[in-house]
C-alpha cells in the first residue's frame, strides 16, 4: 500500500491522465483484499471520477477490476462476476487485450467457479493457458483454478495433482503469496473432504500464515474459524483402545466419579459400569481403579492399591 500511495502522490505532480485512476483502482483492490471496505469504496469512487479525463482504455480495465473487488469484499459474488464479464476481446483492441487480459482472466475464472459456471470457467482457463508465464504467479494460478475446476467436476485425483503441482512451483520472480494462500486453502479443503483431516488442518495453518503475512484479514478470519472447527486434539493413546462408551466411563472414573455417579450420569446400571470397567482394565492393562485414574490423568501410574 505504501508504494501505491507514493505512486499516487508522484502522479499528482508528474503523471499522465490515466496514471491516477489506475493507481486509485489498484489501491481499491488492495484495500478490499484486506477488509478495509470504506477506504476501498472511496478509492474506487475517486478512480471513477478521475477516469473521465483519461483518453486511454487502460483505466476501464482497472476500474472494472476495482469494482469487482469491492463487490466481492461486500459478499456480492454475482455483482463481481457481472462487472468482470463485461471485459472481453470484443470490448477492446486486440493489442490491449493481449496486454491486459492476464490481469482479469484469473479473477474471472475464480468468480465463474464460485458461481457454478463451470463451462465458461474452462474456456477462461484455456485462454489463460496461452498467457506468457515469466514468473511463478501464472503457473500457481493455473494450478489453483484448474484444481478447483477438476474438484467441482468430481475429479478429486486430478484436482489433488494440480494443487500439489502448484505448491511445487518455485517462487521465480517473487512469491505470489496471495494466490499461493488461495491454492493452499483449496488444497486443505480437498484433503479434509477425502478424509485426511490432519494434513488438511496443517495445510490450513500454512494458509493462515500466508494470509497473515499479506494482511488479508477477512480471509485469515475465515481460515482461523475453519481451523478451530477442525483442529480437534488427537485422542490420548489410552483412548484409542476403547469404544466410545468405554471412553466415556474411563474419562469419568479418571475425574473421580464413583460407579453409582457414572451410572446416574450415563443412565445405565452400576452393574453395567462394572462390566465396562472390567473390559477397560483388560484392554489398558491396568489392575484397578487407581491405575486407571493415573493413566487418564497422565500421572506416574502407581498401579497398586493402598
pLDDT mean for each 10 residues of the chain (306 residues) = 66 67 75 79 75 62 84 86 80 72 88 91 92 86 96 94 95 90 94 88 92 90 89 66 78 88 80 89 88 73 32
pLDDT score for 9:
63
Q: Considering 184, 217, 232, which residue would you say is the last residue of a domain? A: 232
For 265, residues 6+ apart whose C-beta sits below 8 A from its C-beta are: 252, 257
For 114, residues 6+ apart whose C-beta sits below 8 A from its C-beta are: 77, 81
CATH number where 221 lies: 1.25.40.10
pLDDT score for 41:
81
Cell numbers 452400576: residue: 270
**Is 28 contained in some domain?**
no
pLDDT score for 20:
74
pLDDT score for 95:
73
pLDDT score for 132:
78
* Domain total of the chain: 2
**Is 194 contained in some domain?**
yes
Task: Report the Cα 282 to chain-centroid distance in Å.
Answer: 45
For 288, residues 6+ apart whose C-beta sits below 8 A from its C-beta are: 281, 303, 304, 305
Same domain as 262, residue 171: no
Q: Considering 232, 253, 272, which residue would you say is the last residue of a domain? A: 232
Same domain as 291, residue 260: yes
Contact 57, 87 (CB under 8 A): no
CA atoms 49, 50, 52, 57: torsion sign:
negative
Same domain as 214, residue 136: yes
- pTM of the predicted model as reported, rounded to 2 decimal places: 0.68
Q: Considering 202, 232, 262, which residue would you say is the last residue of a domain? A: 232
pLDDT score for 299:
45
Same domain as 256, residue 242: yes
**Is 23 contained in some domain?**
no
Amino acid at each position: 500500500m505504501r508504494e501505491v500511495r507514493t505512486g499516487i502522490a508522484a502522479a499528482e505532480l508528474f503523471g499522465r491522465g490515466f496514471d491516477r485512476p489506475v493507481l486509485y483502482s489498484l489501491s481499491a483492490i488492495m484495500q478490499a483484499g484486506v477488509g478495509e471496505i470504506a477506504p476501498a469504496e472511496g478509492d474506487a469512487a475517486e478512480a471513477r471520477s478521475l477516469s473521465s479525463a483519461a483518453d486511454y482504455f487502460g483505466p476501464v480495465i482497472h476500474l472494472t477490476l476495482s469494482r469487482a473487488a469491492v463487490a466481492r469484499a461486500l459478499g456480492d459474488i454475482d455483482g463481481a462476476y457481472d462487472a468482470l464479464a463485461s471485459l472481453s476481446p470484443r470490448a477492446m483492441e486486440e493489442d490491449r487485450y493481449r496486454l491486459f487480459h492476464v490481469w482479469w482472466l484469473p479473477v474471472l475464472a475464480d468468480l465463474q467457479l464460485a458461481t457454478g459456471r463451470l463451462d465458461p470457467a474452462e474456456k477462461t482457463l484455456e485462454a489463460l493457458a496461452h498467457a506468457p508465464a515469466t514468473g511463478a504467479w501464472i503457473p500457481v494460478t493455473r494450478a489453483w483454478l484448474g484444481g478447483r475446476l477438476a474438484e467441482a467436476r468430481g475429479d478429486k485425483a486430478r484436482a489433488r495433482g494440480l494443487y500439489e503441482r502448484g505448491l511445487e512451483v518455485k517462487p521465480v520472480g517473487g512469491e505470489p503469496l496471495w494466490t499461493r494462500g488461495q491454492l493452499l486453502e483449496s488444497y486443505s479443503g480437498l484433503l479434509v473432504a477425502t478424509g485426511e483431516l490432519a494434513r488438511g488442518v496443517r495445510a490450513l495453518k500454512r494458509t493462515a500464515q500466508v494470509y497473515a503475512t499479506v494482511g488479508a484479514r477477512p480471509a485469515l478470519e475465515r481460515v482461523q474459524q475453519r481451523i478451530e472447527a477442525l483442529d480437534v486434539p488427537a485422542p490420548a493413546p489410552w483412548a484409542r483402545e476403547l469404544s466410545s462408551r468405554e471412553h466415556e466411563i474411563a474419562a469419568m472414573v479418571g475425574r473421580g466419579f464413583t460407579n453409582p455417579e457414572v451410572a446416574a450420569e450415563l443412565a445405565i446400571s452400576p452393574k453395567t459400569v462394572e462390566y465396562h470397567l472390567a473390559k477397560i482394565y483388560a484392554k489398558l492393562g491396568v489392575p484397578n481403579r487407581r491405575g486407571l485414574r493415573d493413566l487418564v490423568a497422565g500421572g506416574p501410574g502407581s498401579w497398586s492399591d493402598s
